Amino acid sequence: MDEPFKPLTKQSLSDQLAGRIRRLIQSGDYKAGDRLPPIMEMARLFGVGHFTVREALMKLETTGVVEIRHGSGVYVSRDHDVLVLASPDYMGGFTKKLLLDLIDARIPLEVQSAALAAKNATDANLQEMHRLLDTAGEHLDDDALLNDVNMAFHREIALASGNDVLPQLLDALHDLFTSEQRLILAIFGSRERDHREHLAILDALDRRDGEAAAARMRAHLEDVHATLVRWDPQDEPLG
């Protein structure tokens, strides 16, 4: 077997263990501030060596899930929101605060994308944006398709910005954005208004008006933010 394709052993085992510990925390077995069992006890319970437990806990510490206090033990730092961003195997639901935080994080990224795209977008970028919004306009009653098309529109703007990092940031958070957008479509209440705001952004990009494109993108995302602020999670379950 070629060297690059040798089976993973200890590294993958510690990753698996980190995932199991995360799921214990997510399921409510341990809350923020709780102390986890001693390392030797965890090694016995999970049937692994103590080195593997230490390695798994160090991974969780780097993502803010646990805090290792030497001489005291290992404590849960946060038991919910941080797990969404830190864990590729996160299976929990979204909180209203997390949805608001995601929109707040998107605003500076996407406003900058729009401003740069007005200057740097190619004809091919603009043609793809028009194609995507034409598709969206024809399928306003299909939430699954609309979600995919709308996110592709936002990503195309990031690609058109000419900044190589911006589309990678959107790609890295794509799964979060997808789930978020599905919830927002249900909460927002007006696919037509959402679509009109996208068309307004594209109009500014067509005219190469970076100031207008940035302002319209900001207004669009702040409109989403305001809708979430008004929304009562009791009206519809999250996640």
Contact 213, 68 (CB under 8 A): no
Which residues lie closer than 8 Å to 195 by C-beta, 6 or more apart? Answer: 133, 136, 137, 140
In a shared domain, residues 110 and 36: no
Residue 37 is given by DSSP the state: P
User: What pLDDT is stored for residue 181 in this prediction?
Assistant: 62
In a shared domain, residues 40 and 100: no
Mean predicted confidence (pLDDT) in 80-107? 66
Comparison of pLDDT for 177 and 69, the residue scoring more: 69
CATH number where 69 lies: 1.10.10.10
Kindly indicate the confidence band of residue 176, based on its pLDDT and cuts at 50, 70 and 90: low
Q: Which residues pair with 35 in a beta bridge?
A: 75
Comparison of pLDDT for 142 and 120, the residue scoring more: 120
Tell me which range, 2-16, 31-45, 92-106, is most confidently predicted by mean pLDDT: 31-45
| 219: in domain | yes
Q: Does 93 have pLDDT greater than 80?
A: no
Comparison of pLDDT for 86 and 17, the residue scoring more: 17
In a shared domain, residues 62 and 130: no
User: What pLDDT is stored for residue 71 in this prediction?
Assistant: 84
Task: Let me know if 135 is exposed, middle or buried by CB neighbors in 10 A (0-12, 13-18, 19+).
Answer: middle
Task: Let me know if 25 is exposed, middle or buried by CB neighbors in 10 A (0-12, 13-18, 19+).
Answer: buried
With 0.85 as the threshold, say if the pTM is over it.
no
Tell me which range, 40-44, 94-98, 101-105, is most confidently predicted by mean pLDDT: 40-44
CATH number where 228 lies: 1.20.120.530
Comparison of pLDDT for 62 and 229, the residue scoring more: 229
Structure tokens at 135: 């598709």
In a shared domain, residues 146 and 178: yes
User: 67, 66, 56: which is closest to 17 by C-alpha?
Assistant: 56
Domain that residue 43 falls in: 3-79
In a shared domain, residues 119 and 170: yes
Q: Which pLDDT tens digit goes with each residue over 48-64?
A: 888 889 888 988 887 77
Q: What is the mean pLDDT of the chain?
A: 82
In a shared domain, residues 33 and 144: no
Contact 59, 14 (CB under 8 A): yes
User: What pLDDT is stored for residue 41 in this prediction?
Assistant: 93
Distance of alpha carbon 143 from alpha carbon 49, whole angstroms: 48
| 47: in domain | yes
Q: Which pLDDT tens digit goes with each residue over 107-137?
A: 999 999 999 999 999 999 999 999 999 999 9
Q: Which among 27, 50, 79 is the end of a domain?
A: 79
